[in-house]
């Protein structure tokens, strides 16, 4: 019985789609935003291919070379960029002129720089938030949407992950997150961390940044991942924690708590795929379900045996299937 079972499992795993082989960007540069930021960007793939833009998570996460591999380089022309203050963008970890709407303006400038009328918009986690916000502001510039690990930036989502919810599944990791806070400060973790991340003492900032960043790094996959080590690196942690906390304490600079759901009618005509792991602790599956309820035209894939991260096998499989499908249209 057991040999037959494992043979079936190996067969299923071998059929899952994987990343395309590594390939390089053919052009890179910096977008001068005119208000103090220089945004790193890169173009890769086929200049005659289908235009696409990749929006990374965080906020403050930055892009990595393997993000290119979510797209077939023969059929796609892909723009990737580090959002304000993170990755190779300058100045590092800057919060000045750094809001959702600044980022949307940057995306439009990058589309014009690329010289395309429309493009496929791909975003996961915070990237899904930004993708929806961009599409709702510029629906005529979006050909398709591929959304993973849905995050709608509602108060209940922040409360779940940073106050009372996910902590029950990771008590020892949450205790480490609380270790620098007083009992009073623990009543509002996001605000308490905000004070430290804005401290004039660089060591206070860095200590808080590492703890904030590591909490996410160790809870975004269903099973422990070696990639969590990246979240402890000083430069990454400082940008990630400062920018993420900055956005969260300001409610993503949204006018309303349900803004992304309330405005869905303006993008219901855009072909879209929603992909979410069943056991996503960072962004509950309820987020994807709520989005799908107001957007029944979108294609919803709930991935069993998966958490939040894009490279978990079942999630990656659906992502590659989606980009391949849209490449043919």
Averaged pLDDT, groups of 10, the chain, 329 residues long: 44 77 98 98 98 98 98 98 98 98 98 98 98 98 98 97 97 98 98 98 98 97 85 96 98 92 98 98 98 98 98 98 95
Q: Which of 37, 77, 276, 308 is catalytic?
A: 308
pLDDT confidence of residue 12:
46
Q: Among this protein's residues, is 269 annotated catalytic?
A: no
Q: Among this protein's residues, is 308 annotated catalytic?
A: yes
Q: Which of 37, 94, 106, 125 is catalytic?
A: 125
Q: Among this protein's residues, is 201 annotated catalytic?
A: no
Q: Is the dihedral of CA 164, 166, 167, 169 positive or negative?
A: positive
pLDDT confidence of residue 1:
53
Q: Per-residue pLDDT tens for 216-226?
A: 999 999 998 87
Chain centroid to Cα 194, Å, comes to 21
- Is this model's pTM higher than 0.85 or not? yes
pLDDT confidence of residue 232:
87
Q: Which of 280, 301, 309, 322 is catalytic?
A: 280
Residue spans of alpha helices (H) in the chain: 2-15, 100-114, 126-137, 155-162, 171-178, 189-197, 202-217, 234-249, 259-262, 285-294, 313-327
pLDDT confidence of residue 10:
45
How many CA atoms lie within 13 Å of 182's alpha carbon, on the beta-carbon side? Answer: 6
pLDDT confidence of residue 257:
83
Q: Per-residue pLDDT tens for 45-88?
A: 999 999 999 999 999 999 999 999 999 999 999 999 999 999 99
Domains of the chain, each with CATH number or no CATH:
25-154+253-328 (3.40.50.1820), 156-252 (no CATH)
DSSP state of 111: H
* Buried b / exposed e along 201-240 (16+ C-beta atoms within 10 A): eeeebbbbbbbbbbbbbbbbbbeebeebebbeeeebbbbb
pLDDT confidence of residue 191:
98
């Amino acid at each position: 019985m057991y040999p037959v079972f494992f043979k079936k499992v190996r067969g299923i795993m071998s059929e899952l789609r994987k990343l395309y082989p590594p390939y390089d960007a053919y052009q890179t540069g910096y977008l001068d935003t005119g208000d103090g930021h220089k945004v790193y960007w890169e173009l890769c793939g086929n200049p005659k291919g289908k235009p696409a833009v990749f929006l990374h998570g965080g906020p403050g996460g930055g892009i990595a070379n393997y993000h290119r591999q979510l797209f077939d380089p023969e059929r796609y022309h892909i723009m990737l960029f580090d959002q304000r203050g993170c990755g190779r963008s300058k100045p590092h970890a800057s919060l000045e002129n750094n809001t959702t709407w600044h980022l949307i303006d940057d995306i439009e400038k990058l589309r014009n720089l690329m010289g395309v009328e429309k493009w496929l918009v791909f975003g996961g986690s915070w990237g899904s938030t930004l993708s929806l916000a961009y599409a709702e502001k510029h629906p005529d510039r979006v050909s398709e949407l591929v959304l993973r690990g849905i995050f709608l930036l509602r108060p209940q989502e922040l409360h779940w992950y940073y106050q009372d919810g996910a902590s029950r599944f990771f008590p020892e990791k949450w205790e480490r997150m609380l270790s620098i806070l007083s009992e009073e400060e623990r009543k509002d973790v996001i605000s308490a961390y905000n004070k430290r991340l804005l401290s004039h003492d660089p060591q206070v900032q860095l200590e808080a940044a590492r703890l904030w960043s590591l909490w996410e790094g160790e809870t975004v996959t269903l099973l422990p991942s070696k990639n969590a080590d990246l979240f402890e690196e000083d430069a990454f942690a400082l940008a990630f924690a400062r920018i993420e906390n900055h956005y969260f304490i300001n409610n993503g600079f949204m006018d309303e708590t349900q803004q992304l759901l309330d405005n869905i009618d303006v993008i219901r005509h855009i072909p879209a795929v929603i992909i979410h792991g069943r056991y996503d602790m960072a962004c509950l599956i309820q987020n994807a379900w709520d989005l799908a309820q107001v957007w029944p035209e979108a294609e919803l894939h709930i991935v069993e045996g998966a958490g939040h991260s894009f490279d978990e096998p079942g999630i990656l499989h659906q992502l590659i299937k989606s980009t391949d499908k849209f490449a043919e249209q």
